[in-house]
Amino acid sequence: MAILRKVKEKIKKVVAPVRKKLATKITLPARRTAAKKASAAKKVPAAKKVSAAKKAAQSRPLVVEEARKEMHGARETAIETSKYFSYAPVKHRRVMPNDLPYKYERDRLVLQVRDPWWLHSYWEVASHTWNSLRDRLKDLFYSAKKVLRVYDVSNIIFNGKNAHRFFDVEVNPDAMSWYIDAGGPGRSWCADYGLKLTTGEFITILRSNTVSSPLDAPSWVSDEEWMVPEEIFGRLYGMSFGFGSNAPTSKVMQERFRRALFSGALSSPGLASMSSPAKKQPKDRTFWMMVDCELIVYGATEPDAKVTVQGKPIKLRPDGTFTLRYTLPDGEQVIPVRAESADEVEERVITPIVTRQTKTSQKMLKEFSRE
């Protein structure tokens, strides 16, 4: 039994850094810039991320820890880690896998809508599917490019051949997800994941679900019964966005509405209001210091004596000692401490007098360049 336990511990030690590193890797903020196209190209394939993470974790766990510190502030992270990874003993322990599987061995391609312009896709091709393709295509398999073929299937029942148009996105060979710049609000989309052979032929491996991207502006369709003149609708549209009843209905204004809508200024802060204790500091220099003083007044007398401090009665501990703690503002504090014996025969008064005076200065030690 003892040996078994030792083996288990060893396994844990080996596995733990991998797990930590994986968690860290995922926290890395997306470097997705405003340039949408650039972002798609930069997308790191998920497969690469994971394998690289594993290697790094095994060889250099120290670097991992440092990366974590940078991310959150060391202490918070340290606590989170300790509290999460060292459970108090549970009633019924069971050896569980440490991480989610990297693949599920299934053939699946899914499209998701991110916004009117962008789609997200993820996929997985089962090993046996790859194998049979390899057997079938022989050399062509190895020279083929992996491609997402995105079909515009608006208002049709797609049969694989009747799309309005399609475009191809070449993806990294080991990628398992991709953001697609579909660029067409109010359209329906379907995608194939497949191989583009050097002969130009496209071989579909997976076909996705069909999704519809939303409109980014009012519909052109009007209901006869609920018809509304363009001018009136335009004003209503402006008012709905909070621009008041005088908002003109021009293209420029529509653009302004759109910007207001998509800026995120009115998006729900959601849980962020509960979970972000640290204030976001402005980008300028953020150096700061605070100093304050507190005064501890303590003493002891007979446990049954009556004691007042600055005229106010205080409670003694059972052994007759007492401690008081005050913030000490600038100026003089006269603190008479008076004790009276329980039989009201004797009195002692001790009066500390404390003065606080604070001086401050602030200067730049050298030129600071904003670059």
Among residue numbers 122 through 181, which ones bind other proteins (CB under 8 A)?
Answer: 122, 124, 176-177
Angle between the 251-262 and 230-240 helix axes, to the nearest 10 degrees? 30
With respect to other proteins, which residue has the nearer C-beta, 298 or 346?
Answer: 298
Contact 182, 191 (CB under 8 A): no
Give the list of residues 6+ apart from residue 102 with CB closer than 8 angstroms, or none.
Answer: 47, 50
Out of 241, 254, 316, 339, the residue judged to bind other proteins by CB under 8 A: 241
Q: How far is the CB of 47 from other proteins (least distance, A)?
A: 11
Out of 56, 235, 307, 339, the residue judged to bind other proteins by CB under 8 A: 235
Q: How far is the CB of 211 from other proteins (least distance, A)?
A: 7
Name 314's bridge partners.
Answer: 307
Give the list of residues 6+ apart from residue 76 with CB closer than 8 angstroms, or none.
Answer: none
Q: Which stretch binds other proteins (CB under 8 A): 56-64, 140-148, 154-162, 234-242?
A: 234-242
With respect to other proteins, which residue has the nearer C-beta, 62 or 266?
Answer: 266
Contact 190, 91 (CB under 8 A): no
Q: Which stretch binds other proteins (CB under 8 A): 129-137, 161-169, 275-283, 359-367?
A: 275-283
355 touching other proteins, by CB under 8 A: no
Q: How far is the CB of 131 from other proteins (least distance, A)?
A: 21
Euclidean distance between CA atoms 52 and 22, whole angstroms: 10
Q: Which stretch binds other proteins (CB under 8 A): 1-9, 105-113, 133-141, 188-196?
A: 105-113
With respect to other proteins, which residue has the nearer C-beta, 294 or 371?
Answer: 294
76 touching other proteins, by CB under 8 A: yes
Q: What are residue 234's phi and psi, to 5 degrees?
A: -55, -45
Residue 28's region, left for phi above 0, alpha for psi from -120 to 50, else beta, is beta
With respect to other proteins, which residue has the nearer C-beta, 19 or 306?
Answer: 19
With respect to other proteins, which residue has the nearer C-beta, 250 or 276?
Answer: 276
259 touching other proteins, by CB under 8 A: no
Beta strands in 51-171 (DSSP E): 108-113, 118-124, 145-152, 165-170
**Number of CB atoms found within 10 A of residue 255's CB:** 11
216 touching other proteins, by CB under 8 A: yes
317 touching other proteins, by CB under 8 A: no
**Closest by Cα among 245, 246, 252, 182 to 211:** 182
Size of the site for other proteins (CB under 8 A): 107
> Hey, which residues between 289 and 308 contact other proteins (CB under 8 A)?
290, 292, 294
Q: How far is the CB of 159 from other proteins (least distance, A)?
A: 20
Out of 34, 227, 353, 365, the residue judged to bind other proteins by CB under 8 A: 227
Q: Which stretch binds other proteins (CB under 8 A): 119-127, 163-171, 191-199, 338-346?
A: 119-127
Euclidean distance between CA atoms 110 and 195, whole angstroms: 17
Q: Give, in order, the Cα–Cα distances in Å from 136 to each of 140, 141, 285.
A: 9, 8, 63
Each residue 175-214 as x (binds other proteins by CB under 8 A) or -, in order, gives: -xx-------------------------------x-xxxx
Give the list of residues 6+ apart from residue 249 with CB closer than 8 angstroms, or none.
Answer: 230, 231, 234, 235, 237, 238
> Hey, which residues between 2 and 31 contact other proteins (CB under 8 A)?
23-24, 26-31
Out of 127, 199, 245, 369, the residue judged to bind other proteins by CB under 8 A: 245
Residue 172 structure tokens: 């990294």
SS3 content of the chain, % helix, strand, coil (to 5): 30, 25, 45
318 touching other proteins, by CB under 8 A: no
67 touching other proteins, by CB under 8 A: no
